[in-house]
Amino acid sequence: MGFVLGISAYFHESSVALFKDGDLIFFCREEYFSRIKADKSFPRLCLNYCKKTFDLNEDNIERVVFYEKPLRSFLISSKVAFQSFPASFWLLINNFMKIRKSGMFFYSDFKRTINVPTAKLSFCPHHLSHAYSVIPFSNKDEPHLSLVLDGFGDVFSTSAYLVENQKISLLKSINYPGSLGLLYSAITEHLGFRVNDGEFKVMALAAYGDGSLNAKFRETIGGIKTGEINLKAFKFYKSISEHLDRPFYAVFGKKREEMEVFPQIGTEGFQKLANLANAAQSYIEDEVKNLVLELIDKTSIQTIYLSGGVALNSKLVSSLKEIKALKKVFVPPNPGDSGAAIGAGVFGCLLSGQDITRNHDAFLGPSAVNQDGILQKFGEKIASGKTATQETAKLISEGNVIAILNGKSEVGPRALGNRSLVCDPRNEVVTFELSTKLKRREHFRPLAPAVLENEAENWFEFPLSMKKCLPWMACLAEAKPKTKKLIPSICHIDGSARLQNVMPTQVDFYELIAAFKKITGIPVLVNTSLNCGGDPIVLDVYDLITTMLRMKIKYTLCNGELWKLDEKHFV
């Protein structure tokens, strides 16, 4: 059997997923290669990497599947916009102008990179791409509900399926423009953050809110049925420049401009923004909980898989613990649009009669290698093997930030120890500097803890129904009292932490944390992605050196070797 490819492109971060005999053997986002954050152009560089690394060619490709039906998407969004004509005039013009850079040119763009026969190219409905993206990471074929929470794809914004006996059937759907995802994006923009980037910031900010705007928010933007929104408060479906409309502004005021300095915690301005973030967060949590309750009522199924960009909201995922009837909640490492390439690939494999290999971990990208001996040119090797692990743990305990570049890159947007910056969670000064000065993150966003899996329950409380998501930070945990006392730097204002359980199978990272525990008694490291604020995560040694020089980070643990950069290169 040949290769099956799933492709995501033109809308969010583009990506490629590669399957061989039903087994997901590679996944990468284009931004890793192009170094353009959230690159949505056709993933030519990813495909060229696949050609070179896996000897991919027109003969050994069995099928290529695009992650949505682009014509249907175009027609639906244009039809909705036409209903608001002439207010939507510029949005319609924009839609037509962007056709060349849309999925409608997928055939020709793909053929220009690999000239496969047209019969091998096909499209998967977008929400099925999301729903299927979970399968390679799940551990068994079990009856479950699959809830897709998205901005917009093809027709649906929200959809729910029953997956049983290898069959998937639609239970419920909410069509564009009634979208919980686009509601959250609209609030993200209103708070002065960039859409498709600032949603995590809104989630973090929400923890500071006092709930005082929640009722007013529901009254203003709430829809008639569960999961819907009041379209009169929104403009995203008819305007090119604004997401929200007058009824919203009349109650909550004008938006904060992106360039404005963000107010400090404790000020009136900060509290106002936090209260609005809290209202949006509470609204989508309540709506999703009600949707899930409806689905359980209808089917009596107590296992749910979540996907779609909204499923990246770990606070929302955690809120489902309040539904006692739910026995299992599962989210894949990349539930968003780039991860939907994996689902498109699964769709292709199923069409070809291939069984999908399950139980994948979250490391499927390009491997790190010390190309051209570049590390030797900028620094010296201090140690390798076990000694490197022990020396690195010691350096961390002494207050150093370490850049880790190891093996294959992560599937999702969260660094899990192969492309990470780590530091000592006891050290609040270093953690705060890493977050705000080096990574240029907002002061209200905490960094996340990576904990040895067998120690997690001693330091954190988390719903057992979500345990399978913990290796890739898909939900939140509550810090225990001793955690708040000994390592407060990883706790958010509400006592939560975006926990990563590090499994023993992730040998190198596990052993590093174990070595740190031997020195300090703490089985936890602060873990954040290896990049400068606003850059894509580091892919290879060249990006590593550039990033370390810009951030003035001295030490790197690269593929099991500890290196120290020569400070004369720091400018």
Determine the size of the site formed for Fe ion (CB under 5 A). Answer: 3
The reply to whether 30 sits near Fe ion by the rule CB under 5 A is: no
Question: Of the listed pieces 100-108, 143-151, 184-192, 493-501, which binds Fe ion according to CB under 5 A?
Answer: 143-151
Closest distance of CB 73 from Fe ion, Å: 10
Question: Of the listed pieces 150-158, 410-418, 422-430, 455-463, which binds Fe ion according to CB under 5 A?
Answer: 150-158
Closest distance of CB 419 from Fe ion, Å: 24
Q: Which of 22, 43, 70, 153 binds Fe ion (CB under 5 A)?
A: 153
Of 130 and 256, CB closest to Fe ion = 130
Question: Of the listed pieces 152-160, 252-260, 268-276, 487-495, which binds Fe ion according to CB under 5 A?
Answer: 152-160
Query: Is residue 467 within 8 Å of residue 490, measured between CB atoms?
Result: no
State the Cα angle at 200 between 194 and 205, rounded to 5°. Answer: 100
Closest distance of CB 12 from Fe ion, Å: 7
Question: Of the listed pieces 17-25, 149-157, 204-212, 499-507, which binds Fe ion according to CB under 5 A?
Answer: 149-157
Closest distance of CB 336 from Fe ion, Å: 7
Of 149 and 388, CB closest to Fe ion = 149
**Gap between the Cα atoms of 33 and 207, Å rounded:** 35
Of 102 and 299, CB closest to Fe ion = 102
Closest distance of CB 426 from Fe ion, Å: 40
Is the four-CA dihedral 518, 521, 522, 525 of positive or negative sign?
negative
181: part of which helix (H) or strand (E)?
helix 180-190
Of 229 and 447, CB closest to Fe ion = 229
**Gap between the Cα atoms of 237 and 76, Å rounded:** 11
Query: Is residue 75 within 8 Å of residue 39, measured between CB atoms?
Result: no
Closest distance of CB 7 from Fe ion, Å: 14
Query: Is residue 214 within 8 Å of residue 279, measured between CB atoms?
Result: yes
Of 345 and 407, CB closest to Fe ion = 345
Closest distance of CB 248 from Fe ion, Å: 24
Question: Of the listed pieces 293-301, 337-345, 382-390, 562-570, which binds Fe ion according to CB under 5 A?
Answer: 337-345
The reply to whether 337 sits near Fe ion by the rule CB under 5 A is: yes
Of 62 and 337, CB closest to Fe ion = 337
Query: Is residue 443 within 8 Å of residue 264, measured between CB atoms?
Result: yes
**Gap between the Cα atoms of 34 and 47, Å rounded:** 12
CA 100 to chain centre: 27
Range 45-64, binding Fe ion (CB under 5 A):
none
Sort 139 into a burial class: Cβ within 10 Å, 0-12 / 13-18 / 19+. exposed
Residue partners of 223: CB distance under 8 A and separation at least 6: 178, 229, 230
Closest distance of CB 410 from Fe ion, Å: 20
Range 510-569, binding Fe ion (CB under 5 A):
none
Of 153 and 417, CB closest to Fe ion = 153
Sort 488 into a burial class: Cβ within 10 Å, 0-12 / 13-18 / 19+. middle
Question: Which of 494, 444, 484 shows the shortest CA–CA distance to 460?
Answer: 484
Instruction: Count other Cβ atoms within 10 Å, centred on residue 448.
Output: 23
Question: Which of 182, 243, 187 shows the shortest CA–CA distance to 11?
Answer: 182
Question: Of the listed pieces 144-152, 253-261, 346-354, 537-545, which binds Fe ion according to CB under 5 A?
Answer: 144-152
**Gap between the Cα atoms of 147 and 150, Å rounded:** 10
For residue 142, CA distances in Å to 168, 200, 317, 358 come to 12, 31, 20, 12
Closest distance of CB 80 from Fe ion, Å: 17
**Gap between the Cα atoms of 335 and 331, Å rounded:** 7
Residue partners of 395: CB distance under 8 A and separation at least 6: 402, 555, 562
The reply to whether 150 sits near Fe ion by the rule CB under 5 A is: yes
Closest distance of CB 67 from Fe ion, Å: 8
Closest distance of CB 209 from Fe ion, Å: 27
Of 124 and 448, CB closest to Fe ion = 124
Query: Is residue 508 within 8 Å of residue 489, measured between CB atoms?
Result: no
Of 130 and 441, CB closest to Fe ion = 130
Would you put residue 480 in left (φ > 0), alpha (ψ -120 to 50) or beta? beta
Of 131 and 277, CB closest to Fe ion = 131
Of 150 and 245, CB closest to Fe ion = 150
Closest distance of CB 150 from Fe ion, Å: 4
Of 65 and 525, CB closest to Fe ion = 65
Phi first, then psi: give them for residue 556, nearest 5 degrees: -135, 140
Of 153 and 471, CB closest to Fe ion = 153
Closest distance of CB 243 from Fe ion, Å: 17
Question: Of the listed pieces 147-155, 199-207, 221-229, 451-459, which binds Fe ion according to CB under 5 A?
Answer: 147-155
Of 308 and 463, CB closest to Fe ion = 308
In DSSP terms, 144 is beta-bridged to: 163
Per DSSP, the three-state class of 144 is strand
Q: Which x/- pattern over 293-332 shows residues binding Fe ion (rule: CB under 5 A)?
A: ----------------------------------------
State the Cα angle at 422 between 416 and 426, rounded to 5°. Answer: 120
Closest distance of CB 544 from Fe ion, Å: 31
The reply to whether 335 sits near Fe ion by the rule CB under 5 A is: no
Range 449-508, binding Fe ion (CB under 5 A):
none
The DSSP line for 298-336 is HH---EEEEESGGGG-HHHHHHGGG-TT--EEE--S--S
Give contact residues for Fe ion (rule: CB under 5 A): 150, 153, 337
